[in-house]
């Protein structure tokens, strides 16, 4: 007999495991988290927390806790390209939707704002809330292996304090054990791509850099230095962890050579190099080496075992998608597990997790890796790719300051190359336009709407089944709620308008929360935004899953709303 039993065993306490635990406990599902070490993440790693993730955290009731600790959007976006922080500035880009023309896109898309929440601050918020709601968190507990049959999964774990092993039986197991996932290996998930594409070093340090950064507030300062890295090109990132005194450097090393010896002196030398002023006092807090990967799993499930987060999508930090996607994986799976465990859905519903999330994983792995390559446009514009001689490199870069036609051409090329980095730092569509196709979505025969703007850069709100519920502010008495606030909370929600009263009656009978929006009703479309966005008539309906994804819609009142809605919800929850 196993020593411990639970409904869901989660391996890993990073953003994926933490979010899975939080959501499952919020939905009342018993769960245990085992995590290898005696602490949560002790380095900042992920930080860009996009609007979709904030919507998940808002639904889980912890958005305020995150906002209280995060660096807000207005301090995130004056991204600088320079030769060092104290040196020459090559250009800037408004990032994370801080350009005046993108601020409206950002505000219209969501009730939640993007923010910068370092991972070592986010994980305690996720896990503390999860534990407060019922999660059993076991530190110093290492997953070793698993066995599954048709009714359960039994994992063998090692208590690293006592040194002994024991077994945990669960109805389902989630492998959220990161980029070296043992769980994914044990269940043989098919992986595509390559690990170890390039080498990187993280250096966390403290230094008061207010005088070099506060006048151009950003989360990212890109330092292009000649002659300081492989091939004579040095590109370093000085990332703000806490304005303007705590920082994280990302610096490349040649993965084909020996990894550098990460002494404190070495780390300090790089920090001073990128700051461009050796007199600034620097305190090194930690340094570590990691690799850039380009790898994704083609499926995320084997039987009763599911993987999420870096376990199934491994890629560089470009575009800031890793922890965001990990948390969104958890949001997709948690409500499905609850419904199946409660007997409200067949296990077939769980197949939709992989069908919906694996394409997203592949998309973000490719996107993040492409962004790295696109940086070379800046090098090229500066004349950094044509020579490895440091003096010639400097002359090539300085050539743009001349009053010649060639220099004008170079200046234009540099401007365009920096602007092209919108595909790394302003990809609103990549963050919000994910469309699901699975048995848990009922398509209505209409084609997927075409985004009139660039689908990577711009969000396109739609109620097309498989899309995220569009955000609109709805009035309720003296308060204003987002459509996303009316949905979520672990329940299915049906939106309709005047003339759709029969949908309301049908929804209530099926344990679906009905929301009737119209003048004189509890909910009013005060700005008319919902009518503009909903793509169905007043008497139509939009059915939304607990993760605020549209799974069914009807343009108008059906002849038999009870039968139509009943068939729709059955098809989602009990796929044949
Ligand atoms: P994660 O690796 O965080 O967690 C794995 C967990 O499993 C840990 O708790 C570990 O201890 C545990 N574990 C492993 N093996 C185990 C075992 N055998 N038994 C028990 N426990 C085990 N992302 C983003 O969204 N925005 C951003 O801005 C950035 N920026 C960024 C910068 C830098 C420099 C890096 C290196 C990375 C980022 N990321 C990012 C990526 C982000 O850090 C990453 O995607 C997430 O940490 C992935 O979360 P997971 O929970 O999947 O794995």
Whether residue 59 sits in one domain with residue 161: yes
Tell whether the model's pLDDT for residue 285 goes beyond 70.
Answer: yes
Q: Is the CB of 13 within 6 Å of ligand 1?
A: yes
Q: Is the CB of 139 within 6 Å of ligand 1?
A: no
Report whether 179 contacts 56 (CB < 8 A).
no
Q: Is the CB of 175 within 6 Å of ligand 1?
A: no
Give me the mean pLDDT over the 454-476 stretch.
98
Residue 49 CA, ligand 1 centroid: distance in Å: 14
Tell whether the model's pLDDT for residue 158 goes beyond 80.
Answer: yes
Q: The whole model's pTM is what? A: 0.97
Q: What is the pLDDT of residue 428?
A: 98
Q: What is the pLDDT of residue 550?
A: 98
Residue 307 CA, ligand 1 centroid: distance in Å: 13
pLDDT-derived band at 227, boundaries 50, 70, 90: low
Token pair in block for residue 290: 């990691």
Whether residue 472 sits in one domain with residue 507: yes
Residue 470 CA, ligand 1 centroid: distance in Å: 29
Indicate the number of domains in the chain.
Answer: 3
**27-72, pLDDT tens digit by residue?**
999 999 999 999 999 999 999 999 999 999 999 999 999 999 999 9
Tell me the C-alpha distance between 368 and 386, whole Å.
Answer: 26
The reply to whether omega before 244 is within 30° of 0 (cis) is yes
Q: What is the mean pLDDT of the chain?
A: 95
Whether residue 415 sits in one domain with residue 328: no
**244-258, pLDDT tens digit by residue?**
999 999 988 888 887
**Which atom of ligand 1 is the closest one to the Cα of 34?**
20
In a domain, 291, yes or no: no
Scanning the structure block, which residue is given the tokens 């930690």? 286
Angle 215-219-221 (CA atoms, 0-180°, nearest 5)? 75
Give me the mean pLDDT over the 336-346 stretch.
98
Closest CA to 78 of 413, 567, 418, 521: 418
In a domain, 509, yes or no: yes
Whether residue 465 sits in one domain with residue 406: no
* Interstrand relation of 220-226 and 78-82 (parallel, antiparallel or unpaired): parallel
Give me the mean pLDDT over the 539-556 stretch.
98
In a domain, 563, yes or no: yes
Tell whether the model's pLDDT for residue 233 goes beyond 60.
Answer: no
* Domain that includes residue 396, residue range: 376-420
Whether residue 505 sits in one domain with residue 408: no
Backbone φ and ψ of 37, nearest 5°? -100, 175
Q: What is the pLDDT of residue 258?
A: 79
Higher pLDDT, 415 or 252: 415
In this structure, is the dihedral angle defined by the CA atoms of residues 560, 563, 565 and 571, taken in order, positive or negative?
Answer: negative
Whether residue 470 sits in one domain with residue 348: no
Q: Is the CB of 327 within 6 Å of ligand 1?
A: no
CATH code of residue 474 = 3.40.30.120
Last residue of a domain, one of 328, 357, 386: 357
Whether residue 50 sits in one domain with residue 147: yes
Angle 257-262-266 (CA atoms, 0-180°, nearest 5)? 100
In a domain, 248, yes or no: no
Tell me the C-alpha distance between 353 and 146, whole Å.
Answer: 21
Any residues with CB less than 8 A from the CB of 265 and at least 6 apart, and which? none
In a domain, 352, yes or no: yes
pLDDT-derived band at 333, boundaries 50, 70, 90: very high
Whether residue 441 sits in one domain with residue 380: no
In a domain, 29, yes or no: yes
Estimate to the nearest angstrom the gap between the alpha carbon of 562 and the chain centroid. 37
CB atoms within 10 A of CB 214: 11
Tell whether the model's pLDDT for residue 173 goes beyond 60.
Answer: yes
Q: What is the pLDDT of residue 231?
A: 34
Token pair in block for residue 324: 């965001």
Greatest alpha-carbon span in the chain: 81
Whether residue 387 sits in one domain with residue 308: no
Report whether 533 contacts 470 (CB < 8 A).
yes
Q: What is the ipTM of this complex?
A: 0.96
In a domain, 59, yes or no: yes
pLDDT-derived band at 232, boundaries 50, 70, 90: very low
Q: Is the CB of 297 within 6 Å of ligand 1?
A: no
Tell me the C-alpha distance between 292 and 195, whole Å.
Answer: 7
Whether residue 549 sits in one domain with residue 476: yes
Tell whether the model's pLDDT for residue 261 goes beyond 90.
Answer: no
Whether residue 159 sits in one domain with residue 28: yes
Q: What is the pLDDT of residue 63?
A: 98
Could you write out the DSSP letters of every residue in 166-197? EEEEEEEEEE--GGG-HHHHHTT--EEEEEEE
**Which atom of ligand 1 is the closest one to the Cα of 119?**
43
Q: What is the pLDDT of residue 198?
A: 86
* Interstrand relation of 246-253 and 233-242 (parallel, antiparallel or unpaired): antiparallel
pLDDT-derived band at 197, boundaries 50, 70, 90: confident
Tell me the C-alpha distance between 125 and 106, whole Å.
Answer: 25
DSSP lists the bridge partners of residue 153 as: 148, 170
In a domain, 15, yes or no: yes
Whether residue 149 sits in one domain with residue 25: yes
Q: Is the CB of 310 within 6 Å of ligand 1?
A: yes
Q: Which of 15, 96, 253 to mutate to test the pocket of ligand 1 (most atoms within 8 A of CB)?
A: 15
SS3 77: strand
């Amino acid at each position: 007999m196993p020593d411990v039993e639970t409904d869901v065993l989660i391996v890993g306490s990073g953003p994926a495991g933490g979010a899975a635990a939080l959501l499952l406990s919020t939905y009342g599902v018993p769960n245990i988290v085992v995590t290898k070490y005696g602490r949560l993440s002790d380095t900042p790693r992920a930080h860009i927390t996009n609007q979709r993730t904030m919507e998940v955290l808002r639904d889980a009731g912890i958005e305020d806790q995150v906002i209280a600790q995060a660096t807000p959007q207005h301090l995130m976006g004056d991204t600088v390209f320079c030769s060092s922080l104290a040196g020459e500035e090559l250009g800037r880009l408004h990032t994370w939707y801080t350009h005046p023309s993108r601020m409206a896109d950002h505000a219209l898309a969501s009730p939640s704002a993007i923010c910068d929440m370092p991972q070592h601050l986010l994980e305690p918020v996720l896990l503390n809330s999860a534990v407060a709601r019922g999660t059993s968190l076991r530190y110093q507990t290492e997953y070793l292996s698993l066995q599954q049959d048709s009714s359960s999964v039994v994992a063998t774990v090692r208590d690293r304090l006592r040194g002994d092993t024991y077994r945990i039986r669960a109805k389902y197991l989630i492998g959220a054990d990161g980029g070296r996932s043992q769980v994914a290996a044990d269940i043989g998930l098919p992986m595509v791509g390559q690990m170890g594409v390039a080498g990187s070093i993280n250096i966390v340090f403290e230094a008061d850099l207010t005088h070099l950064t506060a006048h151009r507030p950003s989360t990212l300062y890109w330092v292009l230095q000649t002659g300081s890295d492989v091939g004579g090109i040095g590109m370093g990132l000085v990332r703000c962890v806490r304005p303007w005194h705590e920082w994280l450097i990302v610096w490349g090393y040649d993965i084909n050579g020996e990894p550098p010896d990460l002494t404190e002196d070495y780390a300090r030398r790089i920090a001073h190099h990128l700051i461009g002023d050796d007199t600034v006092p620097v305190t090194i807090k930690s340094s570590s080496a990691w690799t850039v990967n380009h790898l994704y799993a083609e499926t995320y499930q084997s039987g009763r075992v599911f993987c999420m987060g870096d376990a199934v999508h491994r890629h560089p930090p470009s575009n800031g998608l890793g922890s965001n996607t990990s948390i969104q994986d958890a949001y997709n799976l948690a409500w499905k597990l609850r419904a199946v465990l409660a007997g409200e859905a067949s296990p077939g519903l769980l197949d939709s997790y992989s069908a919906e999330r694996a394409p997203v994983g592949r998309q973000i792995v490719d996107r993040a890796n492409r962004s790295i390559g696109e940086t070379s446009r800046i090098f090229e514009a500066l004349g950094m790719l044509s020579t490895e001689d440091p003096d010639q490199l400097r002359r090539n870069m300085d050539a743009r300051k001349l009053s010649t036609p060639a220099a004008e051409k170079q200046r234009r090329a540099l401007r365009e190359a920096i602007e092209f980095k919108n595909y790394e730092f302003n990809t609103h569509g990549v963050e919000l336009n994910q469309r699901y196709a699975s048995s848990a979505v009922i398509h209505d025969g209409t084609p997927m709407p075409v985004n009139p703007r660039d689908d990577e850069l711009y969000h396109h709100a739609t109620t097309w089944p498989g899309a995220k519920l569009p955000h609109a502010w709805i009035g309720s008495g003296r308060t204003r709620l987002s459509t996303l606030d009316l949905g979520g909370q672990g329940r299915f929600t049906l939106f309709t308008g005047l003339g759709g009263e029969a949908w309301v009656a049908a929804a209530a009978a099926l344990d679906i929360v009905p929301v009737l929006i119209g003048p004189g009703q509890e909910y009013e479309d005060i700005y008319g935004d919902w009518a503009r966005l909903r793509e169905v008539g007043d008497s139509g309906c939009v059915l939304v899953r607990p993760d605020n994804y549209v799974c069914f819609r009807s343009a108008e009142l059906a002849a038999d709303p009870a039968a139509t809605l009943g068939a729709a919800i059955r098809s989602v929850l009990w796929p044949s």
